[in-house]
Structure 1
Amino acid sequence: MLLRRSKPAAAPDPLRRAARPSPKALVLMALAGALSLLSFAPFGWWPLQLLALAYFFYRVGVENTPRHGLLLGWAFGFGWSVAGMHWLYIAITRFGGLPAILGAIAIALLGLYMGLFGAFAGGVASWLRRKWSLSVSAFVLLVLPVTWGVSEWLRGWVFTGFPWAASGYAHNVSPLAGYAPIVGVYGVGLLAALCAGCLAMLTQRRRWRVLGLLGAVMAAGFGLKQVAWTHETGQPITLRLLQGDVRQDQKFDTAYLIEIVERYQALITAAPADLIATPETAIPVTPQQLPDSYLAALDAFVKQTGSKLLLGIPTADGATRYSNSVIALGPDSVAGAPPYRYDKAHLVPFGEFIPPGMRWFTDLMNIPLGDLTRGKSLQAPFPVKDQLVLPNICYEDAFGEEIAAQLRNAPKPATLLLNVSNLAWYGESVAIPQHLQISQMRSIETGRPMLRSTNNGATAIIDGRGQIVQQLPFYGRGVLSATVRGTEGLTPYIRFGNLAFLLLGGAMLAGAWFAGRRRARTSSMANSNG
């Protein structure tokens, strides 16, 4: 038996180990966490994630002390984070100018910080096991999945959040994706952890029961994937999604400015469409820094052709107030006063705003637009014929609860989502396919198609079930032309956000507590009768 049954708190615990795990155990745990990289895009081997989590649960279950759980969880979270987010090294060294050794130290420090959330999962779960006198099954199947899910939820908002590589994203193509419109990506991560717990329990005597539970969770998810939570609405619109493929080392170099703005002018005016969308900061200077004739020429084109243009451009509302924005030009626009503007609300620490006390670090790097103004949390969608398009910029689409809140609180919810991004910061790494996978999860959660216009990938159209309908090749210039139709209706996740996930976790913890009380009562009666 890999996992032994723990005795009640009153009895000696045969599973106590040394004061701390060995270095070998910590290294193996970090490697297990790093293995999770292969579960995400572009690899997509999501069963490996379940095996990695199962190993984590198994080791925490065997060690059976809060201190062991905390340290093992920290090592697991460190490996998970460094492997899943290693591409940040490219941005801070190649384009940020940080020396290689400092870049490596920065990524290691980020991994140590992210590892704290894994430490929370293992440490709190082990503490609850002792406090509640839990059996192995209650610990592995109820408590550990919840603390893992809550740790990822915390990682998504503490210090503005960094939810990249949350475990649920690996399951956009697995049966567990069926739960996403109900419990969101964190709920999918919790259920994935439950499945991992089932794998960790396969050495127990009642292995057929956990196999049945594993099969039931997967089967229910597959069944939920067949449910249509939203339906198409309005008339189709024609699209042109632009991918300019501007090199990152040239993007903010004034020597290349004329070439860049002329490139996008040519791409925009090559053909009309109901909606033409450019990537994030396709124009790398503010409207005030452009020749007056530039936006006027674009405005004349869209009015002549009946097109509508969403243009990625930084905007200035004062000498020190800059925003990462999308502005609109169209037949109903007024010269000099665009009728629509979306400002990025969830900014990237160090890249778009400087956390308190960290200016010394950003001063080491040479990243432009380093301290921007936040947009409003609720912003109106952009009308295109009878469709409503809600933009989000760069990694804003990693925050599903914020997009759900925009849809939930809007007087008239958007029918299409639009992500505009520039991931050239991260070279030819896994960042682009991972970001595409994140957008797919947003479509599954909301039942909305996601349109993506990016600098060098992934420019794509994703339908309301998270399937990629069309896509441009990465790392090349091009235009994705298509016809799309939006959807309407509110999924449970739009209506309630992460509430369903938190209620599920609360119910599982309540079940574990009751199971512990019952176990302690039974043990007490047995001792008194003895």
Structure 2
Amino acid sequence: MQFLLLAYLFYQVGLGSSVKRATLLGWAFGFGWSVGAMWWLFIFMTRFAHLPAILGVIGVVILGLYMGLFGAFATGVASWLRRRWSLPLGAFVLLVLPVTWGVSEWMRGWVFTGFPWAASGYAHDRSPLAGYAPLVGVYGIGVIVALCAGCLVKLTQRKRLLTLDLFAVLLLVGMSLRSVEWTHVTGAPLTVRLLQGAIPQDRKFDYAFLESILDQYRGMITAAPADLIATPETAIPVFAHMLPPGYLESLQRFASVNGSTLALGMPLLDGPTQYANSVVAVSPQPQPYRYDKAHLVPFGEFIPPGFRWFTDMLNIPLSDATRGKPLQAPFKVKDQWVLPNICYEDVFGEEIAYQLRTAPQPATMLLNVSNLSWYGQSSAVPQHLQISRMRTLETGRPMLRATNDGATAVIDHRGKVTHLLPFYTKGTLSATVRGTAGMTPYIRFGNALFLLLGALALAAAWFSGRKYRLKKANVGKMG
């Protein structure tokens, strides 16, 4: 279906549209794509931020209009290049449009801190195209998706057999790449317990329910030992000085007696107005460990300049956090190294690749702690699971996910979900997981490889246009 939708857009843009019309088509397409994928923000704004429904609709529409600008960039720039370089349809839909589509999604991942949710490559976490993830990442897969859509457009022209051959080759190469082992297992396996507390979001930050929340998580943590026990994001929803006396000490004793490492999601206070959304590792080792969330959610965790009035209206707890460092060390559990990321951070694959590439001791497995309860029982949960699968494909690392109500899961280094708790239920997921070592091309080069290949494709399009112009000029002289 995705191929057909993109093919229809490319077909409409390729009909000789003006640059203006092509830009508007891309904007409308990007708007519909974004609203269809992220409508669940309406649940957050109306149910938990307590905005009137009309303001929730307006908020989703404004976000969709903004996200649509990247679609407008893709089709508008492609159409401008087509006219500038006098490109034939083949070069336009097979070279230029796929590149501008991929670049627009890459830009969406960093402009104004980025919001790359629902990039087209995520739909292919289980398709033949998933084989390209360790090479070019999710944005590179987006280019290949757009190239497949361009092949469908070319089927309306001559040389259909060559176009079908290209389409088939793209799928077959992707399938073949799935068999390549870019990383290798290392160290002894860990026993892990991932907790899913299913705390209702409207109770999570209500002080009247704090005692029951803390008791619930203490009971779930101490129910059985494991090498690693992980809680969801802000499972402990208050700062350490607000906890009952002896609470953290009791967890430390459990960890020491049983040889367990506890990864606790909780906010940490660093000053009167400074706090971080963090993961704290409590283990038998005396060395303290903390990971602070580095890529914060606009309006939810940091306030863009000039928008404090809006975040005040939303009344979101912990909405002005301190940003963590881009490079943070993993923590050790026996002979494995675990690198946390918090909720929305694992949407940024290039940042995880950077940590794996740069750290003196690269992680052997990834841990995501999340709380998507803000978005109700919606498509946000399975979408986030897709995103985590893509990170495992890109990095060749297994991913552990501990969430409030889904998706709590274990994903192996090849992107397969091996263990999964039912969504929206309280439970504990127990598994045995072994880490991996080594670097995929994506870890080594990040998005640079996809951008380089895109530049080569644009160069090929320019030469194709030059050849096309010379051919037309020669025909004109002969006439």
TM over 0.5: yes
State the shift of 1:79 in Å.
0.1
What is the match of residue 34 of structure 1? Answer: none
Structure 1 residue 289, shift from structure 2 partner: 1.1
* Residue of structure 1 in register with 2:467 after alignment: 518
For residues 326 and 260 of structure 2, what CA distance do their matches in structure 1 show? Answer: 28
Aligned to 2:277: 324
Task: Determine the C-alpha separation between the residues in 1 that align with 2:463 and 2:64.
Answer: 36
Q: Which amino acid aligns with 2:453?
A: L
Tell me the equivalent position of 2:378. Answer: 429
* Displacement after TM superposition at 1:291 (Å): 2.2
Alpha-carbon deviations, 1:101-141, whole Å to 9, x = none? 00100100000000000000110000000000000000011
Look up the match of 2:365: 416
Letter in 2 for 1:288: H
Paired residue secondary structure (1:292): coil
Give the alignment partner of residue 350 of structure 2, picking from 401, 413, 417.
401
State the alpha-carbon separation in 1 of the partners of residues 61 and 307 from structure 2: 17
- 1:167 aligns to 2:128 (yes or no): no
For 1:249, the equivalent position in structure 2 comes to 202
- Distance in 1 (CA, whole Å) between partners of 2:17 and 2:93 is 11
Report the counterpart of residue 405 of structure 2 in structure 1: 456
Which residue pairs with 1:116 in the alignment?
A: 69
Q: Which segments of 5 or more consecutive residues in structure 1 lack a partner in the other structure?
A: 1-47
Which structure 2 residue ranges, 5 or more long, are not aligned?
none
Task: Give the alignment of 1:132-281 within 5 angstroms.
Answer: 132-281=85-234
Does the alignment pair 1:298 with 2:247?
no
2:422 aligns with one of 464, 473, 476: 473
Cross-structure match for 2:305: 356
Deviations 1:275-325 (A, max 9, x none): 000000000001111123100111111111111101000000001101000
**Matched residue type, 1:503:** L
Structure 2 SS opposite 1:470: strand
Q: Structure 1 residue 63: deviation in Å?
A: 4.0
Could you tell me the TM-score, scaled by structure 2's length? 0.99
The whole-number CA distance in structure 2 between the counterparts of 1:372 and 1:253 is 19
Once residues 143 and 443 of structure 1 are traced to their aligned partners in structure 2, the CA distance between those partners, rounded to angstroms, is 29
Aligned residues: 479
Aligned-partner Cα distance in 2 for 1:123–1:60: 9
Quote the offset at 1:92 in angstroms.
1.1
> For the residues of structure 2 that align with 1:305 and 1:363, how far apart are their CA atoms?
44
CA–CA separation in structure 2 for the residues paired with 1:293 and 1:369: 24
1:309 aligns with 2:262: yes
Amino acid of the structure 2 residue aligned with 1:472: L
Structure 1 residue matching 2:187: 3-state secondary structure: coil
Match of 2:445 in 1: 496
Q: Secondary structure at the match of 1:438?
A: helix
Structure 2 letter corresponding to 1:378? L
2:394 maps to 445
Q: Please tell me whether residue 55 in structure 1 is matched to residue 4 in structure 2.
A: no
How far, CA to CA, are the matches of 1:418 and 1:208 in structure 2? 46
For residues 385 and 243 of structure 1, the distance between their equivalents in structure 2, rounded to whole angstroms, comes to 24
For residues 173 and 276 of structure 1, the distance between their equivalents in structure 2, rounded to whole angstroms, comes to 28
1:104 match: 57
Deviant stretches of 4+, over 4 Å = none
Deviation at 1:201, TM superposition (A): 1.1
Whether 1:82 aligns to 2:35 is yes
How big is the alpha-carbon RMSD for the aligned residues of Structure 1 and Structure 2?
Answer: 0.7
Q: TM-score, normalised by structure 1?
A: 0.90
Q: Once the 2 structures are TM-superposed, how far is the Cα of residue 77 of structure 1 from its aligned partner? A: 0.1
2:2 alignment partner, SS class:
helix
Shift of 1:354: 0.6
Counterpart position of 1:26: none
Taking structure 1 as reference, are residues 98 and 63 closer, same or farther at Cα in structure 2, changes over 3 Å only?
farther
Which AA in structure 2 matches 1:382? F
Distance 1:224 1:299 in 2: 45
Counterpart in the other structure of 2:79: 126
Structure 1: which amino acid aligns with 2:76? Answer: G
Counterpart residue type for residue 373 of structure 1: T
CA drift at 1:200: 1.1
1:366 matched residue in structure 2: 315
User: Match for residue 379 of structure 1?
Assistant: 328
Amino acid across the alignment from 1:464: H
Q: How big is the shift at 1:97?
A: 1.1
CA–CA separation in structure 2 for the residues paired with 1:154 and 1:330: 40
Inter-partner Cα distance in structure 2 for 1:199 and 1:292: 65
Cα separation, 1, equivalents of 2:156 and 2:282: 63
> Aligned equivalents of 2:45 and 2:322: distance in 1?
22
1:364, distance to aligned residue in structure 2 (A): 1.3
Q: Kindly, what percent of the aligned residue pairs are identical?
A: 67
State the Cα deviation string for residues 183-237 of structure 1 (Å, max 9, x = none): 0000000000000110111111111111000001111011001100001000011
SS of residue matched to 2:271: coil
Partner of 1:20: none
Q: Which moved more, 1:380-389 or 1:201-210?
A: 201-210
SS of equivalent to 1:445: helix
C-alpha separation between the residues in 1 aligned to 2:179 and 2:283?
39
CA distance in 2, matches of 1:465, 1:63: 43
Deviation at 1:64, TM superposition (A): 2.4
